[in-house]
Structure 1
Amino acid sequence: MLRYDAPTAAEAAKLMEQYRSGSSFFFSSPRKTLLTHGEYSRLSIPSGNDNRSLPERVAELLGAAKQAGRTEAVVVGAIPFNTLQPANLFIPLTAQWYDLLQFTTGEAPERPQISGYEVQPVPGPAQFKQGVDRVLELIRQDVLQKAVLSRTLYIHLPQALQIPQILYHLAYYHAHGYTFAVPLLPELSLSTSPDAIASTRTLFGASPELLVTKKGLRIQANPLAGSAARSEDPVEDERRAAALLSSAKDRYEHAVVIDAVAAALQPYCSKLDVPPGPSLIQTKAMWHLSTEINGVLKDDAVTSLDLALAMHPTPAICGTPSDAARNVIQEIEPFDRGFYSGAVGWLDANGDGEWAVTIRCAETEGQFMRVFAGAGIVTGSDADAELAETSAKFRTILAAMGLNEQQPMTLKEE
């Protein structure tokens, strides 16, 4: 039975108790919260002679659900960084909508106590910095203006993660962001062991960045580019925020992203409001330069997925020119990003929806997980500073797991 509940407030702790690894999709934003269970139908992997676009195939999936009487069906899931790879999108059996998550005052979440884990950075720090230097060389040669390089922490845990506990922590400390968990198909195992068996895979995280939201004719995007790690010292934290806002290098990096996003949205809009300069937003770990773009569509038939794909990948997670940056990323990064730096969210039968950029995230399967972080490289970038930025961005996930860089751990050499 397909059920779509009317929006109400949700007590976070009770809602997390309903989450089921492997079958639940969770997405919480400053606007609403969605928890789904089960799978009614799934977007199939296109065959070699299927030339339909992703929005066309999603529209067909929703159309079939509507013909079966499921008029309020919603498509949920994740889109990969490389859109030539299959998307992980499906219509759930049941969906529960809530306005906002509610937390009991002073109800700070308990963190997991994890010990005896192994961490392998891929690439290692030296290799990552070599990649940054390579991008800077290509920028000097006018091959590109910007590229975003990322790295991972490959972690072997003593036991599987308790996803509801992690989600609670992420949602509590990132209430103004986008907390998510997406069940993934198990065909690609994170384990390198030949004895590994397929198990539940989950993509989860707390993104600070809205790719696009649409309701009727109104749309909003909130690109982020230009970052600085926060400090526990209030005076130093304020100094870092002010330095970021006045940084010529970071404002240039931000402007490259805003120009690209505005250019992608403009053809769809009768009105597009782009502020003249960025403001600051903060997460628990980072300061970011932020620009909130609002628009009015010419045609309500344009869906949130259409808009998301028109912008994706933005220079905030890829670079510019986009094709050149993608080629450089493929050349330098020693791993497949998969769904990292893609998009995660939902789309309803009216075309309304909300999509966040899939950053500050990890992918877990059994006792194995990968944590992702990246940094934008432009003229003026410094390899040591970019490495430090990725380390700071790892903290969002590591803190939710009760881990930190100072905690003893076994580091596997590459």
Structure 2
Amino acid sequence: MSPAPRLRVRSVAVDVTGDLLTRIPDEVDPREVVTWLREGDGLVGWGTVASVSTSGVDRFEDAERWWEALRDAAAVEDEVRLPGSGLVAFGSFAFAAGSTDPSVLTVPRVLMGRRDGLAWVTQVVTEGEPWPPDHPAELLGRSNPMLGTLDPLIEAEGSVPASAWPGVISRAVERIDDGEVEKVVLARDVVVRHREGRVVRLAPVLERLEKRYAATWTFAVAGLVGATPEMLVRLQAGRARSRVLAGTIRRSNGIPLPSEPAQGPNDPRLHLVTSTKDLDEHAFAVRSVSAALAPHCSELHVPEAPYVLELPDVYHLASDLTGTMASGATSLRLAAALHPTAAVCGTPTEAAARVIGELEGMDRGRYAGPVGWMDGSGDGDWGIALRCGELSADRRSVRLFAGGGIVAASDPEAELAETEMKLTAMRHALGLLAP
């Protein structure tokens, strides 16, 4: 691991209106775009001034040591002093220690932020480098004219063809029936390529994700891009929060909002909140998060029952856990302690991870791993990399991922349908589905 450079950081308050994504220059390397947005607020940046790649069982610890050295040596001027201003790193970590895909922690050269009506621009240079000639206000006046133009893409089968997926699920149910695991989460991939062999641009994909899935967290880190509904952990001012999602059903046209009363026995929300399979799957996930957070919190609130979270394509069972920090851990350390939850791995964890390695037929890479950001105080947001795709090293193709929790009551054909449903987010964002 290379030594951390000495950085100079400057955050200034600015006026920003409209979509932050429009400021991403079309010519920047798509793997150097970073994003964390929800309902129009958050962080958008580009360029790389410092980064580190880690791997193996120590990938989180090695990244945090590098970050601490970088932070301690940095000269920071921060007139904003909000979560996400000053020195900020974006991270994306491999799901499995044995993955060949390295985990990444990266600091962008330019970062724009907005929170509760307040906005700022952060610029970062290495020691000895001059500040960029552009004033932050000039950056805000720019707009990407190609943001609404999608690349021509074509989809192909992934590591395991869709026709073979029910057989994989059947084998997983057999392992559950044999008592090897109680629950295992299995995922599949598909590959999307540029029809003309060119680089796939990510800014238009992010814009479509952010507009359609505004209630989720739209992210991009080192070529991994998506819209996750699942907050692994948020740490802010000594309070930790985690959102657990497990249990899913398709949302059809004309279904009422969750705030409205149920519309008869065919309302899918009624099925979701009474389904033994979905409730069991959700309970496994909540217990795993609660057990991981408890050692770090003096108080931990765990809801007695889940609620139904509405997304454009699906309903999820959801639970929000909150706690008061007692351990002094950073947000990244909490993310490492929580990963992998039962929502993306299974129960018991080690046995489920072994079954995943034997049945999935692919390396997940950074799919289902922690993704997010952290500032100099250690506060930050870390989601789970779901509803996402990973740009290839040559930037000409994207692997899309989707999975589901398998329990004893799982139906193989229904599980295939669930992955197809979850692939909808990225297929829409890439222009593979009708608007």
Give the TM-score range, shorter chain. 0.7 to 0.9
Q: Distance in 2 between matches of 1:121 and 1:218?
A: 40
Q: 1:395 to 1:70 in 2, by over 3 A?
A: same
CA deviation string 1:142-181 (max 9, x = no partner): 1000111111111222144331111111111111111011
1:133 corresponds in structure 2 to 170
Question: Which runs of structure 2 are paired with 1:180-199 in the superposition (5 Å)?
Answer: 180-183=219-222
- Code of the aligned partner of 1:260: S
Report the CA distance shift for 1:367/1:284 in structure 2 as closer, same or farther (over 3 A): same
Question: Which secondary structure state, in structure 2, belongs to the residue aligned with residue 82 of structure 1?
Answer: coil
Partner of 1:383: 412
Runs of 4+ off more than 6 Å: 235-238
Amino acid at match of 1:140: D
Structure 2 residue 313 is matched with structure 1 residue 307: no
- Which residue of 337, 343, 357 corresponds with 2:364? 337
Distance (whole Å) between structure 1 residues aligned to residue 386 and residue 423 of structure 2: 10
Q: Which residue of 52, 58, 61 corresponds with 1:43?
A: 52
CA apart distance, 1:8: 6.2
8 Å Cα contact 1:6/1:98 also seen in 2: no
Greater shift after overlay, 289-298 or 12-21? 12-21
Partner of 2:373: 346
Matched residue of 1:161: which SS? Answer: coil
The whole-number CA distance in structure 2 between the counterparts of 1:70 and 1:345 is 21
* Cα distance in 2, alignment partners of residues 363 and 269 from structure 1: 34
Partner residue, 2:278: 250
Alignment deviations for residues 212-247 of structure 1 (CA, whole Å, 9 cap, x no partner)? 000121010001000011112437997112211221
User: Match of 1:11?
Assistant: 18
1:396-407 correspondence to structure 2 within 5 Å: 396-404=425-433
8 Å CA contact 1:3, 1:95 repeated in 2: no
Specify the SS of the correspondent of 2:417. Answer: helix
CA, structure 1 residues 227+88, in 2 after alignment: closer, same or farther (shift >3 Å)?
A: same
Q: SS state of the match for residue 337, structure 1? A: coil
CA contact (8 A) 2:54 2:63 kept: no
* AA matched with 1:386: E
User: For residues 45 and 20 of structure 2, what CA distance do their matches in structure 1 show?
Assistant: 16
* Candidates 77, 94, 98, aligned match of 2:91: 77
Alignment of 1:165 onto 2:208: no
- Partner SS state of residue 112, structure 1: coil
Task: Answer whether contact 1:111 1:402 (CA < 8 A) is retained.
Answer: no
Match of 1:209 in 2: 230
Is the Cα–Cα contact under 8 Å of residues 51 and 107 in structure 2 kept in the other structure? Answer: yes
**Shift in Å, 1:112:** 3.3
Q: Which of 199, 222, 236 matches 2:243?
A: 222
The alpha-carbon deviation at position 44 of structure 1 amounts to 4.4
Residue 110 of structure 1: CA displacement?
5.5
Which stretches in structure 1 are left out of the alignment for 5+ residues?
Answer: 103-108, 184-201, 408-414
- Contact 1:216-1:352 at 8 Å conserved across structures: yes
Of residues 13, 35, 38 in structure 2, which corresponds to 1:26?
35
In the alignment, does 2:366 pair up with 1:327? no
Find the partner of 1:177 among 206, 216, 225.
216
Q: Which moved more, 1:286-295 or 1:8-17?
A: 8-17
TM-score using structure 1 length? 0.84
Identity fraction in percent: 31
> Cα RMSD between the aligned structures?
2.7
